[in-house]
Amino acid sequence: MTDVLDLQAVTIRRGATTILDELSWTVREGERWVVLGRNGAGKTTMLQVASGRMHPTHGTAALLGETLGRVDVFELRPRIGLSSAALADRIPSGETVRDVVLTAAYGVTGRWREGYEQVDEQRAADLLEAFGVAHLADRYFGTLSEGERKRVQIARSLMADPELLLLDEPAAGLDLGGREELVSALAELAGDPRSPVLVLVTHHVEEIPPGFTHLLLLRGGRAFASGPIDEVLTQENLSGAFDMDLTVDHVAGRWSARAVRPA
């Protein structure tokens, strides 16, 4: 079976800065990955490569079996869903929630004159329902709360039925209730065999939804550790990736971490 993502010694340089440093990482069918790392570790940059928006300076990146540099990225991108704050900023605030999701069928923001099929309308409605925001379909995107926006964004990123879904900090800015609702929606997505392969970038182990299977710990643009989450999310690895003495707990399917206080 072809790997969904296969990065081999991927290096990204900007001027004198090495942002990704010979990063190798493979994601396979059915897997649900979490990516953790300090601020500046290279998480967002890695997602830019994984979504076909940035080419490696060195190394090779194969997405859905297609090697960047040898494929038309405009054909590849619709097969990869991406939800990030930067993309959300491009959604017109005067667009209705229904149209925010629907326009993703054509990979655009802002409804103009596209004709939508009944099947698209139904899929958009189903996705809004699945993420608990169907009642907001007629509201303008700009009037939503942060938590509501995040759920609409994820519904939008699933509209084109991607084979790979990349989520960049979907819980950022949410209050406790909003975070827990999102974690539970993502746990449901992770548990559904029809879901695409998932990659979730987060800053907090508390935001890892049950059902996520693998973890990549990034440090200084390199893979500090990666593999099955139960093996990789250890006190030793997390402390190493964050340069801090941390303890890790795993209770009732949820993770938590905190600094070890000197006795």
Ligand X SMILES: Nc1ncnc2c1ncn2[C@@H]1O[C@H](COP(=O)(O)OP(=O)(O)OP(=O)(O)O)[C@@H](O)[C@H]1O
Determine, following the binding rule CB under 6 A, whether residue 17 of this chain makes contact with ligand X.
Answer: yes
CA 80/CA 63 separation, integer angstroms:
9
Tell the smallest beta-carbon distance from residue 17 to ligand X (Å): 4
- Residue (104 or 198) nearer to ligand X, CB: 198
- The CA-to-CA distance between both ends of the chain, in Å, stands at 51
| b/e 1-16 (16+ beta carbons within 10 angstroms → b) | eebbbbbeebebeeee
Determine, following the binding rule CB under 6 A, whether residue 113 of this chain makes contact with ligand X.
Answer: no
Residue that the structure tokens 């440090």 belong to: 219
Q: What angle do CA 150, 134, 47 make, to 5 degrees?
A: 25
Determine, following the binding rule CB under 6 A, whether residue 149 of this chain makes contact with ligand X.
Answer: no
- Residue (86 or 108) nearer to ligand X, CB: 86
Q: Are strands 246-251 and 254-259 parallel, antiparallel or unpaired?
A: antiparallel
For 247, the 3-state DSSP assignment is strand
Determine, following the binding rule CB under 6 A, whether residue 19 of this chain makes contact with ligand X.
Answer: yes
- Residue (131 or 242) nearer to ligand X, CB: 242
Tell the smallest beta-carbon distance from residue 238 to ligand X (Å): 15
- Residue (36 or 101) nearer to ligand X, CB: 36
For 214, the 3-state DSSP assignment is strand
Q: How many residues bind ligand X (CB under 6 A)?
A: 12
- Name the one range near ligand X by CB under 6 A: 1-9, 10-18, 63-71, 231-239: 10-18
What single letter denotes the amino acid at residue 145? Answer: S
For 87, the 3-state DSSP assignment is helix
Bridge partners of 83?
167
- Residue (120 or 168) nearer to ligand X, CB: 168
What is the pattern of x (binds ligand X, CB under 6 A) and - over residues 21-50? ----------------x-xxxxxxx-----
Question: Which of 168, 206, 211, 205 has its CA nearest to residue 186?
Answer: 211
Determine, following the binding rule CB under 6 A, whether residue 16 of this chain makes contact with ligand X.
Answer: no
- Name the one range near ligand X by CB under 6 A: 9-17, 105-113, 122-130, 171-179: 9-17
Question: In the 8-state DSSP scheme, what is residue 37?
Answer: E
Determine, following the binding rule CB under 6 A, whether residue 219 of this chain makes contact with ligand X.
Answer: no
Residues 223-252 that bind ligand X (CB under 6 A): none
Tell the smallest beta-carbon distance from residue 110 to ligand X (Å): 26
State whether the Cα torsion 184-188-189-191 is positive or negative.
positive
Determine, following the binding rule CB under 6 A, whether residue 14 of this chain makes contact with ligand X.
Answer: yes
Kindly list the residues in this chain that would bind ligand X in the complex (CB under 6 A).
Answer: 14-15, 17, 19, 37, 39-45
